[in-house]
Amino acid sequence: MTRPVRIALDAMGGDHGPAVAVPGAAIAAGRHPDAEFILFGDRAVLDPLVSEQPRLEPVARIVHTDVAVSMDAKPSQALRHGRRRSSMWLAIEAVKQGTADLAVSAGNTGALMVMAKLCLKTMAGIDRPAIAAVWPTLRGESIVLDLGASIGADAHQLVDMAVMGAAMARIVFDLERPTVGLLNVGVEEIKGVEEVREAGRILRELDLRDFEYHGFVEGDDIGKGTVDVVVTEGFAGNIALKTAEGTARQLAAYLRSAMSRTLRARLGYLLARGALRMVWEKVDPRKVNGGLFLGLNGVVVKSHGGADAEGFASAIDLGYDVARHELVARIGKSLARSEIRMHSAAAGEVVS
């Protein structure tokens, strides 16, 4: 893609709405000089905020709507009241119509997924989308999916997620052949539920050229960075995500308490704050904010609802990268290759 990357923003979504979306877009505009922004929302609110951002104002235009999807709305309710007119729907529709290359929203996750699936449709051969996110690890970063788009998955859906996650890893991490693992209760092939064992068998037999199948991984392997892509169904993936977020907050609270307890501890903090800052930068959720909806005919990124401007900008960064490198087209090609190999394997043929 050589032309500017056009980014549609649901500027009214999230816990803080335009107060975060606009400065977040300004940060992203500074990082990506070739980006253009379409902000969907209340013009009376957005105009003064955009005018305060000299990096954003020249590359942004506002499309007015006074309808926003609330954070506590049920997906069905959001569709009834927000379809066609809400800032969330209009941002997604811009991707469908080709006036934007990606959409970013910090709004209601359930509503965003339902609207995105209804508006953009799933890719050929994909039953359901998956939410993928970048996860900090001891080795750097990994991609984990599904983080809660849907509950449960059969073997072929897990295989599709492996293909999609690997395509994302090749772009985000610049890897020629990323490693992929299936999250399981043990690394032995006899362990786990039937769907996971069957998915493992299929991936071993396919031996796809787009990625290397590592085998089963356990929960602690996520943080270790044992593989570049961790695949699981949405129930387990969402629990893993929320557990990691909660553990990070718990450890931060412990550290703050310990560092302020005595004068010696406070002095120790002053001596160690450079190292502590480096640690925080590695686990700072703002740096890895953004869940990518994989399996749709378009790029949609979900920012955390409570993200600040830096976090929202990180979600835009993720969408920019995958749109610039045409992730959807790459996933389509990878899925087609995996389907050919699966059909050939079922027919007893040999495919190089």
The fold of 1-126+295-326 is Isopropylmalate Dehydrogenase (3.40.718)
Alpha-carbon torsion angle 242, 244, 249, 254, nearest 10:
140
Cβ-Cβ contacts under 8 Å for 259 (sequence gap 6 or more): 265, 266, 268, 269
Look up the pTM and report it: 0.87
Domain boundaries, the chain: 1-126+295-326, 131-284
SS3 category, 298: coil
| 1-126+295-326 and 131-284 share one fold | yes
Question: In terms of DSSP bridges, do strands 299-302 and 291-294 run parallel, antiparallel, or are they unpaired?
Answer: antiparallel
Question: CATH assignment of 131-284?
Answer: 3.40.718.10
What are the tens digits of pLDDT across the range 197-256? Answer: 999 999 998 888 889 999 999 999 999 999 999 999 999 998 988 888 788 778 778 777
Both tokens of 209, joined, read: 């050229």
- 132 dihedral zone (left: phi>0; alpha: psi -120 to 50; beta): beta
What are the tens digits of pLDDT across the range 282-319? Answer: 665 566 688 999 999 999 999 999 899 999 999 999 99
The residue written with tokens 């979600």 in the block is 315
DSSP letter at 123 equals P
What is the C-alpha to C-alpha distance for residues 209 and 230, in angstroms, rounded to an integer? 18
Whether the Cβ atoms of residue 25 and residue 313 lie closer than 8 Å to each other: yes
